[in-house]
């Protein structure tokens, strides 16, 4: 049976941090489902301006549990996780995946959602530099590396880390992959 990965995002996601890991996961044989706050499409942020849109498969209100999903992917971008962490259903989804012990991969600013869900205390994590103080204040051990793995959490700093980020998630899902084969930012 094909493993399924939920991608939780909204308008303002960092385009490369959703599109490249999504492509890497799909190329590895996984199915992805984009979940957002509303139906339709969400628009990415591509460095300095609005980027491409992605179709939304389900809304947060349609997600009752993490049953049927094997992992959660949280792309960054400054706007995306800041909006999501203000939504109770989005935060509840992150908590559900953590309570089930399923992999949660968060890159760049996305660890803000991990802080909001209260799941970083005592964990070794990384993030975009401006998010690191929030992680420390939430009790996390913050490191500066391309992929920090602690239990079910995978965190990375920025788009340059996408190959290591994708590799860590794919391997946590039980497959091996050569980092050189993965799409970068």
Q: Tell me the C-alpha distance between 92 and 99, whole Å.
A: 10
The catalytic residue among 109, 123, 132, 157 is: 109
Active site residue 109: yes
Residues with active-site annotation = 109
């Amino acid at each position: 049976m094909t493993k399924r990965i939920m991608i939780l995002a909204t308008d303002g996601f960092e385009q490369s941090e959703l599109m490249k890991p999504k492509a890497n996961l799909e190329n590895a044989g996984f199915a992805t489902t984009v979940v957002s706050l509303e139906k339709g499409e969400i628009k990415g942020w591509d460095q300095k301006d609005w980027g491409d849109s992605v179709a939304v498969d389900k809304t947060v209100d349609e997600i009752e549990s993490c049953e049927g999903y094997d992992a959660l992917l949280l792309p960054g971008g400054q706007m995306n996780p800041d909006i999501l962490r203000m939504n109770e259903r989005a935060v509840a989804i992150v908590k559900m995946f953590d309570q089930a012990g399923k992999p949660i991969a968060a890159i760049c600013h996305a660890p803000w959602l991990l802080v909001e869900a209260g799941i970083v205390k005592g964990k070794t994590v990384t993030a975009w530099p401006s998010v690191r103080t929030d992680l420390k204040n939430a009790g996390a051990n913050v490191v500066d590396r391309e992929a920090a793995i602690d239990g079910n959490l995978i965190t990375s700093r920025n788009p340059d880390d996408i190959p290591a980020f994708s590799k860590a998630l794919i391997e946590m899902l039980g497959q091996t992959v050569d980092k050189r084969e993965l799409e970068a930012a």
